Amino acid sequence: MIRYYDIEEKKRIGYFVFGFALLILLYRAWSGALVSQLQGPVISEPYVDFTYWIIFLLNIPQYLTGHFIAGRIFDFLLLFFTVGSAFFYKKNIFPILYSVNIFIYIIIFNAYSGHHTHSILGLWIISWPFLFSDVKRFSLAWEGLRYYVCFIYFSAFGWKIVKGSLFHLEQGAAVIQHNMSTYMLEKPDAFLSDVLVFALQHPNLLGGVFVLGMLAEAVFIIGFFTKKYDWILLGLAVLFHTISWFLIDVNFFEFLIISLTLLNWKTTQN
């Protein structure tokens, strides 16, 4: 059953969504990761990606990163459009401008960092429903995005089945050794190092934790058939990313913004 939201409910969703987005962008500003803070990089890696190639052929990343004032204006507008999208919820002009700017920012950040950072894509994906000013179309897009979230997590489990990760319990230890060895070497007395050493000394327990993580992704198939357990799916998403960050230094908290679609924002009955 599709939940059709009214304008007040759309406003509340917008407050949470773009408030979350603003916090992420402010954290990135504090971390020195906005466009004007990239210190005019000259080496980029657009990969074999036609979208990146087109943006670079248009000279947009080169201009914004090569001109400090232009980069500052871009960063200001990105934050301004984020705030505007939350407060001017009856129109779609601010979400459209936000969507365009965050898309450009993602391409610039990924290209100059030399890695396609998947977690930041949530900031762009979550804007899609807000491109519709009509609340009925917004509701349909929001519901569609909810199913897309379920697909993302369940397909991640399916990919692990295809690649055989589920059947190699030793992979958990290998991932920790690859991702966390430097941390354990530099901070041997840290609490996290003690936890990681304990985990490596008990490979069966560690393998079991990784299998449970994969099964947590598999549970998202339930979301295709009922919304009754959406709050459990949201909890699993938060827990999954928390443990991933804690054990293997994989930070996907930014991607959690799209999991807001798993919340029931209805305050009235259709």
Domain ranges in the chain are 1-133, 151-270
| Amino acid at the residue 63 | Y
pLDDT band at 270 (very low <50, low <70, confident <90, very high): very low
**Exposed, middle or buried, 226 (CB in 10 Å: 0-12/13-18/19+)?**
exposed
Torsion of CA 123, 126, 132, 137, to 10 degrees: 170
Task: Supply the pTM of this predicted model.
Answer: 0.87
pLDDT at 117 over 50: yes
Q: Give per-residue pLDDT as tens, 188-205.
A: 888 888 888 888 888 888
What are 217's two structure tokens? 């992704």
User: Which pair of tokens denotes residue 215?
Assistant: 């099964």
Contact criterion met (CB below 8 Å) for 262 and 237:
yes
Residue (of 127, 124, 129) closest to 144 by Cα position? 129
Residue 48 has a pLDDT of: 63
Please state, rounded to an integer, the average pLDDT across all residues of the chain: 88
